[in-house]
Amino acid sequence: MFGNFAEGELAATAAVGYTSKFPSSRHKMVIWGVFTSPRYRRQGLSRQVVESAIQHAFSNGVNRVNLQVYVPNEPALGLYKSIGFVEYGVEPSAVYLDGQYHDGVLMTLVKKQATFKKVRC
């Protein structure tokens, strides 16, 4: 789990982890827990923690990071696409929130296509 602090409080988070304990899945991780407190948004805090989390995955032998975004969510899609994530599918009605179904866009990032703005490789 990675965190970014502002004014002494936790303002942004991101985490990466394996999806399975089996060796056949040790080449990939998922990123989850991506969130920035509303009053600290658009200050680059999420990009920093997301890039740090992905870099951590890549430096631990992983060559692919996957995620799912419930849509609509232009901020998250914009962030992930700018790093190099591409869409590879959609889970219809992935979640039911506040009386509505939302699709889940599946995205994947391969190490050689990652572009980092804040965290150096």
Residues in contact with ligand COA by the rule CB under 6 A: 12, 34-36, 41-47, 69, 73-76, 78-79, 82
In the bound state with ligand COA, the residue whose beta carbon lies nearer, of 23 and 93, is: 93
Q: Which of 98, 104, 6 is nearest to 49 (CA)?
A: 6
Residue 62 C-beta: closest distance to ligand COA, Å: 19
Residue 17 C-beta: closest distance to ligand COA, Å: 15
Residue 97 C-beta: closest distance to ligand COA, Å: 12
Residue 23 C-beta: closest distance to ligand COA, Å: 28
In the bound state with ligand COA, the residue whose beta carbon lies nearer, of 18 and 35, is: 35
In the bound state with ligand COA, the residue whose beta carbon lies nearer, of 58 and 85, is: 85
Residues 6 or more apart whose Cβ sits within 8 Å of residue 25: 18, 19
CA–CA separation, 61 and 84 (whole Å)? 19
Angle, alpha carbons 61-65-68 (nearest 5°):
160
Element (DSSP H or E) covering residue 70:
strand 64-70
Three-state DSSP class for residue 53: helix
In the bound state with ligand COA, the residue whose beta carbon lies nearer, of 53 and 58, is: 53
